[in-house]
Structure 1
Amino acid sequence: MRIGFVVYPNCSLMGLATSAVFEVANVVRGENVYEMLFLSEKGGLIKTSPGLVLETKRIGGIAIDTLIVDGANEPKPASPAMIKYLQSAQHRFRRVAATCTGALVLGDAGLLDGKRVTTHWLFARTLQEKCPTALVDEDRIFINDGKIWTSAGMSAGIDLALALVEADLGAETARSVARKLVLYHRRSGGQSQFSELLELEPKSDRIQTALNYAKKNLHRPLTVTDLAGAAHLSPRQFSRAFRDETGQSPAKAIESLRVEAARILMEQSRHSIDVVARQTGFADRGRMRRAFLRVLGQPPQAIRRNVRQETEHLRGQSGKARRADKPSVTKKHALRGTASAF
Structure 2
Amino acid sequence: MIRISCLLFEGFVLLDMAGPITAFETASQCGVPGYSIEILGSTTGNVTSSSGATVGTIDFRRTQGCDILLIPGGLGVQNRENYAHLLPFIRSVAENGCKLASVCSGAFLLAEAGLLEGRTAATHWREAAELARRFPSINVDAESLYVRDGNIWTSAGISSGIDLALAMIQDDYGFETARRVAQILVVSVNRPGGQSQHSALLELVGGDNRFNEILIWARSHLNEPLDVEHLAERAALSVRQFTRAFTATIGIAPAKAIERLRLENARTSIEAGARSLEQVARDSGFGNIDRMRRAFVRSFGVTPQAMRRHLSPDDSAEAATDQIR
Q: Could you say whether these structures have the same fold, taking a TM-score greater than 0.5 normalized by the shorter chain as the test? A: yes
Pairing 1:170-249 to 2, within 5 Å after superposition: 170-182=174-186, 184-186=197-199
Q: Deviations over 1:107-140 (max 9, x none)?
A: 1111110111110000001111122111101011
Match of 1:25 among 24, 27, 34: 27
C-alpha distance in structure 1 between counterparts of 2:128 and 2:280, whole Å: 19
Q: Which residue of 2 aligns with 1:2?
A: 3
Pairing 1:113-192 to 2, within 5 Å after superposition: 113-182=117-186, 184-186=197-199
C-alpha distance in structure 2 between counterparts of 1:177 and 1:10, whole Å: 29
**Of 141-150 and 41-50, the range deviating more from structure 2:** 41-50
The list of structure 1 runs, each at least 4 consecutive aligned residues, that deviate by more than 4 angstroms after superposition, is 268-272, 278-281, 297-303
**Cα distance, 1:43 vs. partner?**
2.8
Query: 2:10, 2:50 within 8 Å by CA — same for their partners in 1?
Result: yes
Q: Deviations over 1:276-311 (max 9, x none)?
A: 9x7699xxxxxxxxxxx98118954999xxxxxxxx
Q: Which residue of 2 aligns with 1:295?
A: 278
Q: Deviations over 1:64-106 (max 9, x none)?
A: 1100001104532254321111111211242001000000111
Distance 1:96 1:9, change over 3 A: same
Distance 1:297 1:26, change over 3 A: closer
Q: Which residue of 2 aligns with 1:260?
A: none
**Cα distance, 1:149 vs. partner?**
0.4
Q: Normalised by the size of structure 1, how large is the TM-score?
A: 0.57
Q: CA RMSD, aligned part only?
A: 3.3
Distance 1:274 1:129, change over 3 A: same
Distance 1:164 1:82, change over 3 A: same
Q: Deviations over 1:227-249 (max 9, x none)?
A: xxxxxxxxxxxxxxxxxxxxxxx
Distance 1:132 1:39, change over 3 A: same
Match of 1:66 among 65, 68, 76: 68
Query: 1:64, 1:93 within 8 Å by CA — same for their partners in 2?
Result: no
> Relative contact order (C-alpha < 8 Å, sep 6+): which is higher?
1
C-alpha distance in structure 2 between counterparts of 1:166 and 1:149, whole Å: 13
| Secondary structure of the corresponding residue to residue 39 of structure 1 | strand
Query: 2:123, 2:142 within 8 Å by CA — same for their partners in 1?
Result: yes
> Structure 2 counterpart of 1:86, which letter?
I
| Secondary structure of the corresponding residue to residue 176 of structure 1 | helix
> Structure 2 counterpart of 1:296, which letter?
Q
Match of 1:267 among 219, 222, 234: 219
C-alpha distance in structure 2 between counterparts of 1:270 and 1:72, whole Å: 33
**Of 176-185 and 64-73, the range deviating more from structure 2:** 176-185
> Structure 2 counterpart of 1:36, which letter?
I
| Secondary structure of the corresponding residue to residue 30 of structure 2 | helix
| Secondary structure of the corresponding residue to residue 176 of structure 2 | helix
Query: 1:67, 1:93 within 8 Å by CA — same for their partners in 2?
Result: no
Distance 1:180 1:301, change over 3 A: closer
Q: Normalised by the size of structure 2, how large is the TM-score?
A: 0.59
**Structure 2 regions of 5+ residues with no counterpart?**
188-196, 202-216, 229-254, 260-275, 287-324
> Structure 1 counterpart of 2:186, which letter?
V
Q: Deviations over 1:244-271 (max 9, x none)?
A: xxxxxxxxxxxxxxxxxxxxx9637889
Query: 2:105, 2:124 within 8 Å by CA — same for their partners in 1?
Result: yes
**Cα distance, 1:182 vs. partner?**
3.0
Q: Which residue of 1 aligns with 2:308?
A: none
Count of aligned pairs: 217
| Secondary structure of the corresponding residue to residue 158 of structure 1 | helix
Q: Which residue of 1 aligns with 2:244?
A: none
Distance 1:272 1:104, change over 3 A: closer
Report the structure number with the largest CA radius of gyration. Answer: 1
Distance 1:37 1:187, change over 3 A: farther
